[in-house]
Amino acid sequence: MAAAHHVCGGLILSETHTDAVMYTYRVKHVMHMTRTKFQDAWVVELEGYGKALFLDKKIQSALLDEYMFHEPMVQPGMFTHPNPKRVLVAGGGEGATLREALRHNTVQEAVMVDIDEELVRMCDEWLPEWHQGAFKDPRSTIIFDDARKIIPQYQNHFDVIVSDLTDPLEAGPSQYLFTREFYQMIYDALTDDGVLTVQSGAGDPLYPYLYGCIARTLQEVFPIVRPYWCFVASFMLPWGFILASKKHDPLEIPREEIARRIEQRQVKGLRYYDPGTHYGMFGIPPYLRDVISKARVLTDEQPFLWEA
């Protein structure tokens, strides 16, 4: 959680990572604040980072470095698949995750499912730098509903699914969207060579346990599971992602093939992802591999509970 404090020189937002660590952000001004049916949503302008979105007082992304999250969130999975035509984004209310998928000229259908319509409408108005018109792209379909309700309606349909859901905080909208049962729904919705990428929480040594549990849970469902990570400046943390696949292994694609796919699909303007960072991100350190090996499987009966 985070708290707002007035200090000499302006407003400070402080976000608690664990009981031991708090991060602070200096706010230039508050642009928009609302309470949706599901969560608090703030758009603020931060010193240094520029415009930023906070949900339930936790930073989601900032204008300065949103590409450091959204490109790693989407592009490893999209380029691992040889020909992604149908894509689903679960969550991703800012629209930047959808934007990244739509960069690929192979994409014919992009479905975004987000339970919080008020949030998406707010982001459409206040965060145009993020979505860049993705909501109105003719290939896009936006569904405002629970992903657990919508995804089972698709069987063997999507080439790539991107799970960009908020962390599973107790009483939050995402608690049961990180379980074995949910990932089985995703598996069934993917084509025979489908690929999934999941935002998986912090990868720092203080509290990497959500990351470990998601990886361990995906290993129960998918034959290929490849954890990866990158540093996101505005989070002040290394951030974890996981790629799960039915057939294609991201570590077996030659760099030359990734470069060819980037050129062939006319994906231009990438600021983080390229053939080099593709492989670099999958080089997670021994402590994270150890966390994953000791983690438990998340289920509907025993979902993840944040206890930092």
Q: Residue 121 contacts by C-beta under 8 Å, 6 or more apart in sequence? A: none
Q: Which of 6-20, 31-45, 275-289 has the lowest mean pLDDT?
A: 6-20
164 is catalytic: yes
H-state helical runs in the chain: 67-80, 96-102, 117-126, 128-131, 147-150, 180-189, 209-218, 255-264, 275-281, 286-294
Where does CATH 3.40.50.150 sit in the chain?
67-294
pLDDT value of residue 175: 86
Torsion, Cα of 22, 24, 30, 34 (10° steps): -10
pLDDT for position 8: 43
Read off the pLDDT of residues 69-85 as tens digits, 9 standing for 90 and up.
999 999 999 999 999 99
Give the residue-averaged pLDDT of 226-232. Answer: 98
Is CATH 3.40.50.300 correct for 67-294? no
How much is the pLDDT for 242? 99
Residue intervals in the chain for CATH 2.30.140.10: 2-62
pLDDT at 40 over 70: yes
The two structure tokens encoding residue 96: 């930047």
pLDDT tens column, 142-169: 999 999 999 999 999 999 999 999 888 7
Calpha distance 174→196 (Å, rounded)? 17
Phi, psi of 153 (to 5 degrees): -75, -15
Does the CA dihedral 230-234-236-239 come out positive or negative?
negative
CA distances, 273 to each of 69, 87, 259, 270, 279 (Å): 10, 19, 11, 6, 10
2-62: CATH number: 2.30.140.10
Distance (Å, whole) CA 192 – CA 99: 25
Q: What is the pLDDT of residue 172?
A: 64
% residues pLDDT > 90 (the chain)? 87
Model confidence at 7, pLDDT cuts 50, 70, 90, reads: very low
Rounded to whole angstroms, the Cα distance separating 259 from 248 reads 17
In whole angstroms, what is the distance from residue 86 CA to residue 255 CA?
24
Stretch 249-266: mean pLDDT: 98
What is the pLDDT confidence band of residue 174, given thresholds at 50, 70 and 90?
confident
- Active-site position among 116, 159, 164, 204: 164
Share of the chain above pLDDT 70, in %: 95
3-state helix, strand, coil in the chain (%, to 5): 30, 35, 35
